[in-house]
Chains A and B, each alone.
Chain A
Amino acid sequence: MQDDKAVQFFEEVLSKTRAGKIRWEPTAIESDYIAAVAGQFTLSVAEYERQIRYIGQHIMAHSLALKDQEGRTLTTVTDTDDGIPEGDMSELYETARRQALHVDEKIDNLLGELSKL
């Protein structure tokens, strides 16, 4: 069954992340990134390996979790949840990762250096 609130939450996080409004940070675990919002909530995106049923093949899956000020997990959205368009969760993860690691700035920096060679 589709959780409309969770879908709305995911879409808003994706939209704000695309707009660069959320300050994602790397963590001690390479596949996890976090962001604190409004002084009350923590968001985290994670990449993990998931086994496809019946086939047994492993694929990379992604999740978005919301925690409150006390550190309780309020909701977790994954790419297999109803109402999450295919590819959107991996886009969120990849965008958050790039922002947390400042990938674009570093590539621009490198391009600047390369142009001087």
Chain B
Amino acid sequence: MIDFLAGNWGNVASLAGLVFSILAFIFSKRASIAAREARDATLLRSLSEEMNAANRNAGEIVTYVGMGRGDMALLRTSELMNQTSYFMARWDNRISEGSKNNLLSVREQLHFIHDVLTKSPVADLSPKAKTQLAQACQRVNATFSEEYGRSVKASESERGNAGR
């Protein structure tokens, strides 16, 4: 055995080097996948946190419209319009086509809500217009709840992948 090693130490060393290189490659590949999954999980968690904040804002619009506080509802509507535009730009390559459609229609809904709130105080609206406004606000809230749920689900499944 010793004679064999003494005679072929170069070959043995090459073979051991090759084995170590292969192991190092496998471990670095795994580490890079784990790092990418951890980064994706962090990004998705950040998306779901932002979606949660938007969802809260949308809920406040519903409340303010219900209370007849058009000024506060208008303020939140403007904020949410900006937030929605930000989402579309920030998360463009992370969200599905369905979510993009939801965000696009929410932004458009918010434009109409903004128009109605700018034109007259909530108290002066006809009962029909008031109902229409309340329903539109509720639709925006429901869409953000749906998107928040989707982002939490995506974040949880990504975290599950990263933890594996």
**Chain B: CB-nearest residue to A24:** B105
State in angstroms the CA–CA spacing of A70 and B82 once bound together: 11
Interface size class of A (residues with CB under 8 A): 20 to 34
A27-B136 in contact (CB<8A): yes
Bound together, the chains give a CA A42 to CA B128 distance in angstroms of 26
User: Helix, strand, loop or mixed for chain B's interface?
Assistant: helix
Q: How far is the CA of A27 from the CA of B132 in the complex (A)?
A: 7
| Choice from B100, B101, B105, B133 contacting A28 with Cβ under 8 Å | B133
Q: Does B115 contact A (CB under 8 A)?
A: yes
Which A1-60 residues have C-beta < 8 A from chain B?
A: 23, 25-30, 32, 34-42, 44
Q: Is A67 an interface residue (CB 8 A)?
A: yes
B97 touches A28 (CB 8 A): no
Q: Which residues of B contact A71 (CB under 8 A)?
A: 85, 107-108, 111
With A and B bound together, what is the CA distance between A54 and B159 in angstroms?
Answer: 68
Of A34, A36, A38, A41, most B-chain CB atoms within 10 Å: A36
**A-B contacts, CB under 8 A, total:** 67
Q: Mark B48-59, 1 if CB is under 8 A from A, else 0.
A: 000000000000
Q: Does A69 contact B (CB under 8 A)?
A: yes
How many whole Å from A31's CB to the nearest CB in chain B?
A: 10
Asked if A69 and B88 sit within 8 Å, CB to CB, the answer is: yes
Q: By the criterion of a CB under 8 Å from any partner CB, how many residues of chain B are at the interface?
A: 27
* Contact of B108 (CB < 8 Å), options: A23, A38, A42: A42
Which residues 2-17 of B have a CB within 8 angstroms of A?
Answer: none
Residue of B nearest to A69 (CB): B88
Chain A residues with CB under 8 Å of B100's CB are 36, 39-40
Chain B residues with Cβ below 8 Å from A67 are: 108
Instruction: Please state if B112 and A36 are interface contacts (CB–CB under 8 Å).
Output: no
Within 8 A of B (CB), among A59-84: 67, 69-71
Decide: A37 and B107 in contact? CB cutoff 8 A. Answer: no
B104 engages A69 (CB within 8 Å): yes
Chain A residue numbers with a CB within 8 Å of B113 are 28
Known: A25-B105, A36-B108, A39-B98. 7 other contacts (CB 8 A): A27-B109, A28-B116, A34-B109, A40-B100, A42-B104, A42-B105, A71-B107
Can you name 17 A-B residue pairings with CB atoms under 8 Å? Answer: A25-B109, A25-B139, A26-B136, A27-B109, A28-B113, A28-B137, A30-B129, A35-B105, A36-B101, A36-B104, A37-B101, A39-B99, A39-B104, A40-B100, A42-B104, A69-B104, A71-B108
- B interface list, Cβ under 8 A from A: 85, 88, 96-102, 104-105, 107-109, 111-113, 115-116, 128-129, 132-133, 135-137, 139
